[in-house]
Amino acid sequence: MRKKLCLVLGAVAMLSATPMSAEPRGDEPVAVSRAIKQGIDFVYVDPKMSSVARRKQRPQNWLQRILNPNAARRTGAPNPMFAELSRGLQQYQATWGRLPQDKIPAGPTLKSGSTGKRVALLRTRLGLPPEGGYDEALAQAVSAYQTVHGLWPADGIAGRATIASLNRGATYYARRIAINMERAYRLPQGRAFDRYVVVDSGAAEVYLFDRDRRVDSMRVVVGTPKTKTPMMAVLMRDAKANPYWNVPPELVRSLTAKRINEQGISYLKDFHYEVLSDWGPDARVIDPKTVNWKGIASGKVKPTVRVRQLPGPWNSMRNMKFEMPNDYGIYLHDTPHPELFAEAERHLSNGCVRLEDYRRFASWVFGNVPQPTSQFEQVFPLPRPVPVYMTYLTVAASGNGVIFRPDPYGFDALAMPQMFGTASKTALAPEGTERS
């Protein structure tokens, strides 16, 4: 593991020294290499990010270390999110870890009025006397368990998902907290930066830190389970107002050329696209009628032209794109679909991060909202590069412990054997919404 993590940390040198691919890619993300197992692995893209990362870091057994004050002191000044999860782990162990961990056999849904051996086992499992049936005290205990463990609705009814969760046992959930602590441990230590951004793709939220204090947050839309937003550290250096959206060559072949053949050249005008001669800095706008779209659609002709969507309310990046040079094509941007931020499930993008309020974000990273002087794309350098840490947390600290969230990317399941060995890779029923 040490060797592999050294390679992940050392990958920054390769990414920094190697120019971006000679092949044009457009404005769409690409997948992180399978060699980087993103259960806990973190890619430090920029040399400055690597310089503040813990060298030769190996996964820590936080279940043991957190209860050892001397070991805890040796970690230095941890990130505030790490400290919150550390306290949450101790509270979880004190509240739920102390309870009997007896298994409850599968069977019908248990609810008010239910009786029998399974109800008695459920009462014992949740720290109540076995006698009493499915009374109000048991319903409240089940509801409290559901709230903490992310089982919705937290209605106090013990259906299949609740019983499966109880049967996992507290050790499983303590390990999930420890996995999230390991990710938070990769965030910057105290006083590493004056200001930085944390994008949490697990929660689909972004947090703004000023001198290690969270001063603002907002909802974001992040990658789907098929197009995951990666865990990495980058430097945001500039933003583009009224950005173009450059269509990736593969999409030009598989989508754009196909639509033009079906609908005619008017397709480009209808959807605000223009065609450029190539991907070079001196590319010129050309007449799309001069392009062999049929050949491109068939795959017989390689698309060397550049197709880009003009700035405007229709553009997928809308008003502003915040750039962070990296080989994965990930960036933060505005969106023409603000209605998606009202959704509880916001794992909907191709991997990039859509901001709920780009103006508020721009005001924080710039000190004001840059005002373009043209309807066309303009670049605004940041006064100072801003570190952006993109992580993935499935456990949130709460006032009296933690609250578990879903694992949409499956990173927790991937991290279990990374941190606790292959024996921890146990097939269990999926977590989430309760079902009877």
Q: How many residues can be counted in the chain?
A: 436
Helix, strand or coil, per DSSP, at residue 52: coil
Closest CA to 410 of 179, 171, 188, 206: 179
CA atoms 310, 378, 278, 26: torsion sign: negative
3-state secondary structure of 258: helix
**Candidates 6, 149, 272, 333; catalytic one:** 333
CA distance 408 to 292: 41
Identity of the amino acid at 195: R
Tell me the residue type at 193. Answer: F
Instruction: Give yes or no: 352 in active site.
Output: yes
Closest CA to 125 of 164, 154, 89, 178: 164
SS3 241: strand
Catalytic residue among 6, 149, 337, 352: 352
Indicate if 6 belongs to the active site.
no
Please give the Cα distance from 321 to 329 (Å, whole number). Answer: 12
Q: How far is it, in rounded angstroms, from Cα 317 to Cα 307?
A: 15
Catalytic positions are 333, 352
